[in-house]
Amino acid sequence: MSDQELWQKLYAVTEKELADGPGCHDFAHILRVLHNAERIAESEKVDHLFALRVGALLHDIARPEEQRSNGTVCHAQIGAVKAADVLRQCGCTDEDLIQRVSDIVRAHRYRGNIPPETIEERIVYDADKLDSLGAFGVARSFHFAGRIGARLHNSREAALNSEAYSREDTAYREYLVKLRYLPERMLTETGKKLAKRRSEYMHNFFDELEKEALSLE
């Protein structure tokens, strides 16, 4: 089977799997991450471009399982196994490709345990983080806050002294506690550059929001 045929099958499976996903993590997120990964790959020395593209496509393939378990299973861990299963079900017999993709999926949610190592793993990690920054990052933060029933906005103090998933877990809190630190966590030079630009936009947005909010007092 050609790469193109395999790609079309995997694309269709992923689109179907994530069709009912929430707006911040649906198939459109996958397409943005894929685009980001391809953009980063243009300026980095990649070993296996097809593995990178398939890894980006399948990186959140187990989101539905994580959601159904209310977060008790990690979509990166079970996604690594599911991605290999999906590849085999689509007719892939290239064990090297299956292993590479599985590793990319497992590493994309790096939170202090095993860091992404290969260039493909680092690129998908960065590509995913980039979608949390910039205008889409702002949009996704508000979308997520809305889904968990948080306020539209709160003060810096309220945001910083609140719990995750509370009414005070606003987009602003997400920015203050997590998103503003993302640029320094990027793992490729190109990812760092892109993140810096997107982060500046995000900083300006929340700065402006804060100014408007303070002017009401």
Chain residues in the site for Fe ion (CB under 5 A)? 60, 128
Largest CA distance in the chain: 65
d(C-alpha 3, C-alpha 92), whole Å: 9
CB of 160 to Fe ion, least distance (A): 25
What does each C-alpha distance from 61 to 86, 92, 120, 187 come to in angstroms? 9, 17, 17, 22
d(C-alpha 36, C-alpha 194), whole Å: 9
Q: Which is nearer to Fe ion, 126 or 128 (CB)?
A: 128
Q: Which is nearer to Fe ion, 60 or 174 (CB)?
A: 60
Rounded to 5°, the CA angle 202-208-209 comes to 90
Return the residue matching tokens 């992404």. Answer: 116
Q: Which is nearer to Fe ion, 36 or 154 (CB)?
A: 36
Q: Which is nearer to Fe ion, 68 or 208 (CB)?
A: 68
Tokens encoding 160: 């910083």
d(C-alpha 166, C-alpha 216), whole Å: 24
CB of 105 to Fe ion, least distance (A): 9
CB of 59 to Fe ion, least distance (A): 6
**What number of CA atoms fall less than 13 Å from residue 190's CA on the CB side?**
18
CB of 212 to Fe ion, least distance (A): 31
CB of 30 to Fe ion, least distance (A): 7
Q: Which is nearer to Fe ion, 125 or 168 (CB)?
A: 125
